[in-house]
Amino acid sequence: MRRDYFEVTHRDVMGRTGKLHTPHGTVQTPALMPVVNPNIEFLKPKELKRLGAEILITNSYIIYRNEKLRLDAVKKGIHRLIGADMPVMTDSGSYQLMVYGDVEVNNSEILEFQKEIGSDIAVPLDLPTPPDADRSLIESDMEETLRREEEAAKIFSGTENLVAFPVQGSTVPECRRIFAERARKIAERYDVKPVFPVGAVVPLLDSYRFSDVVLAIIEAKSALPLCSPVHLFGAGHPMFFSIAVALGCDLFDSAAYALYARDGRYMTVRGTEKLEEINEFPCCCPVCSEYTPSELRKMDKNERIKLLAKHNLYVSFQEIRTVRQAVRNKTLFELVESRIRSHPYLLNAWRKLKDYQEIIEKLDANIKSRFFYTGVESLMRPAVKRHEKKVLEIPPEKEVLVSDFGSGIKSDIYLRPCFGVVFPEIVESYPAGHAEMPEDEAIDREAIERAAEVFVNYARKYRDTTFKLRISNRKAWRPLLNRVKELKNVVVEDVCE
């Protein structure tokens, strides 16, 4: 397995920005690949490039099936065929296999064809196991798909083309992990440049089953090599990009921009609106600046679809850039925590990560420039746990004065929501010192309870120390005052003001 084609430049949460080197140029990641259908006259690659595309995806099966297109593609190569002066990934017909149950090509034929037409990222004909499949189907699909991936590895071994090793496994998180482990092992045995797509997530995203997608990604990621790019296959809605990147996805593709446009659906980072129901556009892309929703509604259908598709792409690329910038600034947690508030199921999905703290902790950057508390999910950030670990190792004097941070009382230990114990020496450093959060009485009770937990653990660990507690805001710190009653070495003193 090669490692020289993907460079990681910045990291945050489990995500990263990077450079993906392909035979037809370098792409910055996370990247969004708009889908180009060679049969349909729609937005041309030149136009897609102007909108922000650095890499495209098209379907090699659609080309293969049409004799004229096939001969043309073999003669000119895929890039000239579709008029793209940028890298092109080619899909294999798996989607058609999922929708129609059958395709008129076998795995090695479609792979050889992709190689012949110069695809930058080729995809084997994997079996997209649907959601909620039973274990026996998942396992038989897995065996067959892995066999096809090995065939792909043989065909592309020693070439410059990248090749996809899709990870299936339906909605059983454990199967995603096993699949990822086995796909990785195949890639490791050959001289290939693998991309690992997490597959068959479209039906899940379409039905807002975001938790299933989050679990599929994190289980796959936990077994995949960190040096290889991961593609969330079929995820083209900007509302999910920040979460997927935070979980370690590097590539996205969008057929959604066109499919949604055809249905009169207008994408935003907060969800989807129907064109019929929009009074004014909230966006300032060239389309939304030039036209009003009612002008768009009165327009010729094809023209309207094109304009809506353009807006959908503008908003998608804008979000990709926003996410990349958040990774560079190490503010991806803050971005994700704001995005998940646009849909209750996104919130639910993100909270599932409570059970995956270890893997996030392993990958998340240690030092950041800021910690903005945006809600109870902020408590799940590794910085909170790391802070607790650190302070527990620092022993106190025989007798110490403890006060709430806002009290203004000069103390040996300050209490802050989320972090609990904060020493004066680290009051200026990340994370506890740099944390911006609501006032003690306005913050979520969970943040106070978390702080109480840290303080109680600390006082229990250092039993020979007497902790004199002077709390000025007793109402806010009630959960802590209740908990220290059981501790003999904590004395609650009155605050005279």
- Both structure tokens of 126: 């994997």
- Of 91, 126, 141, 212, which one is the catalytic site residue? 91
Q: Which residues of the chain form contacts with Zn ion (CB under 5 A)?
A: 283, 285, 288, 311
CB atoms within 10 A of CB 121: 27
Separation CA 259–CA 281 (nearest Å): 20
- Both structure tokens of 68: 């004229």
- Closest separation in Å from C-beta 303 to Zn ion: 16
- Closest separation in Å from C-beta 285 to Zn ion: 3
* Size (the chain), residues: 497
Is 72 a catalytic site residue?
no
Which string of DSSP letters, residue by residue, matches 125-171?
----PPTT--HHHHHHHHHHHHHHHHHHHHHHTTSSSEEE--B--TT
Whether 334 and 38 have beta carbons less than 8 Å apart is answered as no
Q: Which is nearer to Zn ion, 321 or 483 (CB)?
A: 321
Q: Which is nearer to Zn ion, 8 or 259 (CB)?
A: 259
- Closest separation in Å from C-beta 314 to Zn ion: 5
Give the SS3 label for residue 90.
strand
**What are the φ and ψ backbone dihedral angles of 320, each rounded to 5 degrees?**
-60, -45
- Closest separation in Å from C-beta 312 to Zn ion: 8
User: For the packed helices 344-351 and 210-223, what is the interaxial angle rounded to 10 degrees?
Assistant: 30
Which string of DSSP letters, residue by residue, matches 361-399?
HHHS-S--S-EE--SGGGGGSHHHHHHHHHHHTS---SE
Q: Which is nearer to Zn ion, 278 or 283 (CB)?
A: 283
- Closest separation in Å from C-beta 298 to Zn ion: 18
The residue with tokens 């935003």 is: 268
Start-to-end CA distance of the chain, whole Å, equals 68
Q: Which is nearer to Zn ion, 214 or 288 (CB)?
A: 288
Separation CA 202–CA 253 (nearest Å): 11
Q: Which is nearer to Zn ion, 268 or 378 (CB)?
A: 268
- Closest separation in Å from C-beta 311 to Zn ion: 4
- Closest separation in Å from C-beta 291 to Zn ion: 9
Which of 345, 313, 261, 326 has the alpha carbon at shortest distance from 52?
313
Q: Which is nearer to Zn ion, 280 or 464 (CB)?
A: 280
Q: Which is nearer to Zn ion, 223 or 267 (CB)?
A: 267
**What are the φ and ψ backbone dihedral angles of 313, each rounded to 5 degrees?**
-75, -40
- Closest separation in Å from C-beta 301 to Zn ion: 19
Scanning 56-134, the segments in alpha helix (DSSP H) are: 60-65, 67-76, 78-82, 94-100, 107-116
3-state helix, strand, coil in the chain (%, to 5): 50, 20, 35
Q: Which is nearer to Zn ion, 278 or 456 (CB)?
A: 278
Which of 332, 381, 383, 313 has the alpha carbon at shortest distance from 353?
381
- Closest separation in Å from C-beta 66 to Zn ion: 34
The residue with tokens 């991806």 is: 332
What is the separation of C-alpha 11 from the centre of its chain, rounded to a whole number of angstroms? 12
Whether 170 and 133 have beta carbons less than 8 Å apart is answered as yes
Query: Which uninterrupted H or E stretch holds 57?
Result: strand 56-59
Q: Which is nearer to Zn ion, 314 or 455 (CB)?
A: 314
The residues annotated with a catalytic role in the active site are 91
